[in-house]
């Protein structure tokens, strides 16, 4: 399901059984990530699928990428795998108005 930032953050705040999922590349994450987000790179193909299989399907997943395209694909994949509550952040982190943290860039 596609949600605006307002609706995405509102539902996230109201859901105590939720996970924020960042599906961008490591290079993108190094420039900033929504605090406490779980990072699983959608470009990793089968590794991405394998990691999804290990997640708790009873939780709600608030998914984002840079602009909303990859996270939309991730939500569709998650729905196919039996996740009933996967929410795509329309506009992605490019339009994010909330807090972000910078990860320590690896040498």
Active centre residues (catalytic): 65
18-22 and 86-89 beta bridge pairing: unpaired
Q: How many CB atoms lie within 10 A of CB 104?
A: 6
Query: Distance between CA atoms of 70 and 22, rounded to whole angstroms?
Result: 10
Residues with Cβ within 8 Å of residue 72, at least 6 apart in sequence? 2, 88
């Amino acid at each position: 399901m596609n949600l605006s930032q307002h609706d995405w953050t509102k539902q996230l705040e109201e859901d105590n059984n939720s996970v924020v999922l960042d599906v961008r590349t490591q290079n993108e994450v190094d420039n900033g990530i929504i605090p406490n987000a779980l990072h699983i790179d959608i470009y990793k193909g089968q590794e991405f699928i394998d990691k999804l299989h290990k997640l708790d399907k009873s939780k709600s997943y608030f998914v984002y990428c840079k602009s909303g395209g990859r996270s939309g694909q991730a939500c569709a994949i998650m729905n196919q795998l039996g996740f009933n509550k996967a929410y795509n952040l329309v506009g992605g982190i490019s339009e994010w108005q909330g807090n972000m943290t910078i990860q320590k860039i690896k040498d």
